[in-house]
Amino acid sequence: MANNWYMLTAVGEDRAGIVAGVTKALFEGGCNLGDASMMRLGGSFSIMLMVSRRTDLFRRKSYDNKKTA
């Protein structure tokens, strides 16, 4: 049961709820967060997150999605 780590980067217009929306989606997808960096410049927002997910869960979820589709 290995973990693979990925860097997720998102950039866009700054607005309320961006962090909550991104982290909720990752949590619901079974992901774990490692390091995080966020910055606001003018009207823009950027976020970089280290994200992991157990590979066996990923394979199982992918298989289940194909099976029910």
pLDDT for the residue numbered 4: 83
What CATH number does residue 16 fall under? 3.30.70.260
Contact present, 55 and 2 (Cβ < 8 Å): yes
Give the range of the structural domain holding residue 32, as residue numbers without chain letter.
3-68
- pTM comes to 0.67
User: Which H or E run contains 65?
Assistant: helix 55-68
Segment 45-56 shows an average pLDDT of 86
Q: Which two tokens stand for residue 20?
A: 């909550």
pLDDT for the residue numbered 63: 46
Q: Which two tokens stand for residue 29?
A: 């997808």
Domain count, the chain: 1
Contact present, 38 and 62 (Cβ < 8 Å): no
Q: What percent of the chain has pLDDT over 90?
A: 62
